[in-house]
Amino acid sequence: KAGVTQTPRYLIKTRGQQVTLSCSPISGHRSVSWYQQTPGQGLQFLFEYFSETQRNKGNFPGRFSGRQFSNSRSEMNVSTLELGDSALYLCASSPRTSGGGTDTQYFGPGTRLTVL
C-alpha cells in the first residue's frame, strides 16, 4: 500500500496570509491526525478527524482548522499566518475505529511551512 502523502512538501508564506495543507491517508485508514513540530514546542497534536468529523482537538487557536472528505483525505488550514506558525506539519493516519487507546500512527513526510 502507498504510504501517507502530504502536499506540498515545502511552502513559503508571508505574515497575514493563509495556507492550506493536504494529506492523503493510507488506503482504508479512516482516522487522520495532524501534528505541528517546532524546535521550541516539539511535537504537538492539532486535531483528529474520523468519518469527516473532528473527534479531538489540541490546544491551538481558532486560526487552525481542518476538515476531512468522504474519501478520508484531509486538509488543514491556517489563517492569518504568524511567524510562530513556521513549523513542520505532520499528518498521520490509522485504521482504528474502536476504543483501546491510540492506535499506531502512520506518518507522512510532512509539509515544511516557513512564514516570513
Residues forming the site for other proteins (CB under 8 A): 4, 31, 33, 35, 42-45, 48, 50, 55-56, 58, 88, 90, 92, 94, 96-110, 112
Q: Where in the chain does DSSP place strands (E)?
A: 5-7, 10-13, 19-24, 31-38, 42-50, 53-57, 64-68, 74-78, 87-94, 106-107, 111-115
Cβ at position 84, least distance to other proteins in Å? 17
As a whole number of angstroms, the distance between CA 103 and CA 94 comes to 7
Cβ at position 106, least distance to other proteins in Å? 7
> Among residues 70 and 104, whose Cβ is nearest to other proteins?
104
> Among residues 15 and 55, whose Cβ is nearest to other proteins?
55
